[in-house]
Structures are given as structure tokens and as C-alpha cells.
Structure 1
Amino acid sequence: MRAFQIAAITGACIVLVGCGSTVRSQVSAFHELDAVKGSTFAMIPYPEQKADLEYRTYAKALASGLTKAGLLETNLSNAKYAVLMNYSIDNGKSEISSVPIIGQTGVASSTTYGQVNRSGSFSATTYNTPTYGIVGATTRSDTVFTRQLTVDIVDANEKDADGKYRRLYLGKVQSRGAGGQIAPVMPYMIEALLQDFPGKSGQTKTVDLTVH
């Protein structure tokens, strides 16, 4: 019996650029924001990000998304909100998944065709229609990386007793997949965060975005 394997569609594969057609993100947000349309904001890097070209790329994408949500980008001295972002990707973890083995499980039907030749003997040929199904399973190992994005929005004009800006919004995005780099999925993580921005405080949702 000749058997063959089919690739299992695992949860990790669904969220991969190159493995599937969507990026899946888990998004959560906590905030004290009301109407944000028309409000001004400024992107503010953390000290270690000031000369980071990667940060500038992501900050530009986030600022563009906030602008599409109705906010207006400006400099810090004129801004109502200051926006900070942080991001990371881990070293990946191996995950074992089960892959079914498909093979012939039996015969659905048999048909025999024959003929009598000139010598009076009979010759026949039988054709079998096989059935297929799961005849076993094997395992596969995939390396899955976890990507994180955190966005803070603070009141640019109000500080607490310790001199820290008052936080008004905390958004977190997590995406898992086989890609060992965060750059290809960052645009989709930002887009997932800004869907229905600022959204309902305390809500966690799953966002699937088609790769384009």
C-alpha cells in the first residue's frame, strides 16, 4: 500500500508571511481616551531609539496610521499627546505538531472486463477503485517566533508628582510565526492595533490581516 503525507495546517502556519496568506495578531488596549479625532500628537523615541533607523521606519508607519484614524501629527511643544512605541522578537521556540498520513484504506468497488478469444479461452481484467483515508500519523517540528509591539500614549501637557507624563493609552500586539524577523509583519501589527482605534478599553481581540 502506497501512502503519502499531507501537511497539517497548524496555528503557527496560519500567521506566517510566506507560509500562509494572513498575519494573525492578538491585540489588547487599555485607555482613558475619549474622542481623539482632531487631536494632535508627536512621536517620541526612547533614548536608545533616537539614532535607530529601524525605529524611525516603524514610527513613521505608526504615525501614518494614527493620522488615518483622525489625529494630527505635530511637534511635541504643540502636541496634546506624546506617542511612544517599543517592539521585540524572541529567539524562537520549537513546536511539535501532528501530521496525518493518508493512504489506501480499501477498495470501494471492483469491475471485471473480459472476452472469449478464438481458441475458446476466456481472459479478463479486473479494475479496483480504491478508497483513501488516514492510515497513521507522524510529527513535524517548526520554529515559531513571538513578535511584540507596545504603544504608549501619554498626556504631553500633564505630569504626575514624580515628573512622569500621565499615561492615557496602553496598546499591546502579539503575533506568532515562523519568520525570524519582525520587519515584514510590523505593518500588519500596527494596522491590527489601530483597527477601530482607540477601541473599547480592556478588550482583547484577534485580528487577521491579508498579506499584500
Structure 2
Amino acid sequence: MKHPNMNPRRSYTATVRIGLALALAGSLAACATPFKADVSRFAAQLPAPQGESFAVVAEDPKLAGGLEFAMYADLVAEELTELGYTRAASPSEASLLVRFDYDVDNGRERVRTSNVGVGPAFGPWGAWGGWGGGFGFNRGWGVGFYDPWLAGPQVRSYTVYTSGIDIKIDSTTTGERLFEGQAQAVSRSNRLQTLVPNLVEAIFTDFPGNSGETLRITIRDDESKKVKEVD
């Protein structure tokens, strides 16, 4: 038997709001990961790691000697060491010179429209807006919902940033360029402390890769371990 004070329309709207809240919570959780980067690599005759030593130096002189650069250079050195190369005490003692650069731009605004509703014209969920545009390496995700009893589609603006790293490897003996690689990503964050480690991981995934090939590398956290996927 229905409660005499129960308003069917109000009950229906409450159910819709609960469903939307659960969907939004799930969407926000999914947005936390993964990290996606576009990686381009060009390799010549990169020597096998048999006694080859390397030193990581700043491509941009303004970064040289900085503590932040040293931290990111250590990440590059760790990857090369895992591959079997040996870190030299100084650039003058290295057989390979690794030139490293990183940056994030000032960001640009994007607009997203969401139109989620319940009703004969919309179906159970409606349509979500999409990402658009491209990006290049230069020196919030938002969501709303449509309630048929309250308002129309929601339009949110947010800022996205393009980050990137650049790695070049030269032979100190011949001066020959042996490797060039670049990793770029578009994200809601401009924190280099988070971006650079992921970009370094991406560029060294299946290193040195196929020369001239551009890949989308996805890095996701799965129970406290990194999982890398190549698209």
C-alpha cells in the first residue's frame, strides 16, 4: 500500500539523482588514471650495453645545475642503468651523452557539455561530451547532469596542459646522433613532479622501439604496481 503523502514524481526524481550520483562517482574514479603519452622515437646504431657508459646533461642551459633537473635526470639514468648501461662519473668520461629536456605549457581552456537525463526524449543516460583538439610540445575534468525537472545541459570549462620530454643520445667518440625521442601528454595537471616520471616511463617502454614510429603508451596503476600498455 502506498504512503498517502508519497509523491510519485518526487520519488522518481530522487531515484534519478541517486543513479546519477553513483555514475558520477564512478566516472571520477576512472578519471584518476590512466596516464597516456604519445611517444615518437628515432634510432640509428645505438650500441649494445656492453661497457658503454653515459652521462645525462641538460639540453637547456638554464636547467643545468638545478636540483629539479638533477631529480629528473636520475630517473633517466635509472632507466638506462636497468637496460645495462653504466652511469659515468662525469660527461667527459662517458661514451654516450644523453641530452634531456622537459617542459609544460601554460595551458588552454576547453569546454565540455554534458546532457544526461531521464525521460522519453533522452533514454536512461543521455550523451556525454567528448575531448577534442590536438597538442604540440611548447616551452578538471568537468561534468554536469541534466535533470528533466530542474535544468538543461551543463557546460563546464576547464584547463588542459601539454607536457613533454625530449631525449637525444650522442656518441662522444664520433659525435654521431644515435637516438632521438619525444614523449608528450595532455592532462588536467601541470605538476612536473607527477608528469615527468610518467613521461620518462613512457619513452623507455620497449626502448629503443622502432625508428620513426609513434605510439600511444598508457601507464596505469594496478594494485600499487605500474602496468604499461602500447596501443
TM-score scaled by structure 2?
A: 0.67
Label 1:62 to 1:52 Cα distance change in 2 as closer, same or farther (>3 A).
same
Same amino acid, percent of matched pairs: 24
Partner of residue 65, structure 2: 51
In structure 2, C-alpha distance between the alignment counterparts of 1:206 and 1:173, rounded to whole Å: 9
Compute the displacement of 1:85 (Å). 0.6
Partner of residue 45, structure 2: 33
Partner of residue 124, structure 1: none
Unmatched 5+ residue regions in structure 2?
Answer: 1-8, 127-147, 225-231
Unmatched 5+ residue regions in structure 1?
Answer: 107-130, 159-164
> Of residues 30, 35, 42 in structure 1, which corresponds to 2:55?
42
Report the residue type matching 1:197 in the other structure: F
Structure whose CA Rg is larger: 1
SS of match in other structure, 1:132: coil
SS of match in other structure, 2:103: strand
The answer to whether the Cα contact below 8 Å between 2:163 and 2:190 also exists between their aligned partners in 1 is: no
Label 1:34 to 1:153 Cα distance change in 2 as closer, same or farther (>3 A).
closer
Partner of residue 124, structure 2: 132
Compute the displacement of 1:137 (Å). 3.9
Higher-strand-fraction structure:
1
RMSD of aligned C-alpha atoms? 2.9
Partner of residue 163, structure 2: 147
Work out the number of aligned pairs and report it: 177
Q: Structure 1 residue 22 and structure 2 residue 34: aligned?
A: yes
Higher-helix-fraction structure:
2
For residues 17-72 of structure 1, what are the alpha-carbon distances to aligned partners after superposition, in whole Å with 9 as ceiling and x for unaligned? x9422111100001203443232211123432222111000000110011112211
Label 1:96 to 1:35 Cα distance change in 2 as closer, same or farther (>3 A).
same
Q: State the structure with bigger RCO (CA 8 A, min sep 6), 1 or 2.
A: 1
Partner of residue 98, structure 1: 113
Label 1:194 to 1:105 Cα distance change in 2 as closer, same or farther (>3 A).
same
SS of match in other structure, 2:116: strand
In structure 2, C-alpha distance between the alignment counterparts of 1:96 and 1:50, rounded to whole Å: 38
In structure 2, C-alpha distance between the alignment counterparts of 1:102 and 1:35, rounded to whole Å: 59
In structure 1, C-alpha distance between the alignment counterparts of 2:36 and 2:191, rounded to whole Å: 15
TM-score scaled by structure 1?
A: 0.73
Compute the displacement of 1:151 (Å). 0.5
Label 1:72 to 1:92 Cα distance change in 2 as closer, same or farther (>3 A).
same
Runs of 4+ in 1 over 6 A off after TM superposition: none
